[in-house]
Amino acid sequence: MVDVDELVAAARVVQLPMRVRFRGITTREALVFEGPAGWGEFGPFPEYGDAEAAHWLRAGIEAAYEGLPAPLRTRVEVNATVPAVPADGVSAVLAQFPGCRTAKVKVAEKGQTLEDDLARVAAVRKAMPDGAIRVDANGGWTVPQAHEAITRLVADGPLDYAEQPCASVEELAEVRRLVDGACDIAADESIRRATDPMRVAELGAADVAVVKVAPIGGVRAVLAVADALRAAAGVRVTVSSALDTAVGLSAGIVAAACIEDGNAAGLGTGGFFTADLGEHPLVDGALAVRTVAPTAERLAAVEVFGERRDWWLDRLRRCHALLAR
């Protein structure tokens, strides 16, 4: 285990301004550090407790100190990601995802209605008439709400899958039973925020596993979970972003490139930032497999000090202590 003082000495705390509100935020904070193998990221969202956030630190240490596994491909197809914008804002969002043939649409946003969701998905269908559509509720529906929403959504056209329609694994299993094959059900939070991600397989709760590098603890941990879920339940696997900076996104891209039969990855989130630590250009709906090393100029443009830096360093020390146990 790398010494915590070494991590603190290398730590740079950054704030990335965003073009649109996503997950309720307009600025993304994270801590990045350089090690002998490259750059790592520690960016758990503020509401996450230390036990959960420690997985994110493990992922950053893997990238910076162990290095990432060798990918199987040089390019990774990604989906467009549409936040909970009004229907008339969909075209502007999709313009940031040239060549994408799949779109994931956020639904069940607090303060919005099912009619808002239906209108947003309809606008995506109109803009991408030959595209595959996914919806992501982030656990925001009850079982009856999820059943109604999915029923109404598939009446307008097929869905690739509905991601985390409800909060618990038991609810996912019930929704999957109710929709009866009309739409695949994907598990996200029920895997990355679970003490036992295999419960999804045990309860037959999902057709698709959405896995994210930082919350699960690194690329190798993601690949192990993906292999276990596919072996136990035959699920498809989608690698997605945790709204990572370009540093963290590098690890996600490598993870997706290590999964031979992966779906279009949810990694096209770099366009949400007006400033970032590097670039992963989207070309014809795909990202090249490459890692990012921030330049001094990039870091200086977004680095923060004072109270926010102290907050992140305190969090880093607490999470490191948990890993050291």
Q: Please name which of 59, 16, 15 lies closest in space to residue 39, comparing C-alpha atoms.
A: 59
CA 317 to each of CA 51, 81, 257: distance values in angstroms, whole numbers, following the listed order: 12, 33, 32
pLDDT in tens, 3-14: 999 999 999 999
**Does 23 score more than 80 pLDDT?**
no
Q: Is 126 a catalytic residue?
A: no
State the binding site: 136, 163, 188
The mean pLDDT value of the chain amounts to 95
One of 104, 110, 126, 212 is an active-site residue; which one? Answer: 212
Give Cβ neighbours of residue 275 (< 8 Å, ≥ 6 apart).
16, 17, 298, 301, 302
State the binding site for Mg(2+): 136, 163, 188
Domains belonging to the chain, first-starting first, are: 4-68+296-324 (3.30.390.10), 75-288 (3.20.20.120)
The model's pTM = 0.93
Do residues 23 and 45 make contact, with C-beta atoms less than 8 angstroms apart? yes
pLDDT in tens, 209-258: 999 999 999 999 999 999 999 888 899 999 999 999 999 999 999 999 99
* Identity of residue 220: R
Share of the chain above pLDDT 90, in %: 90
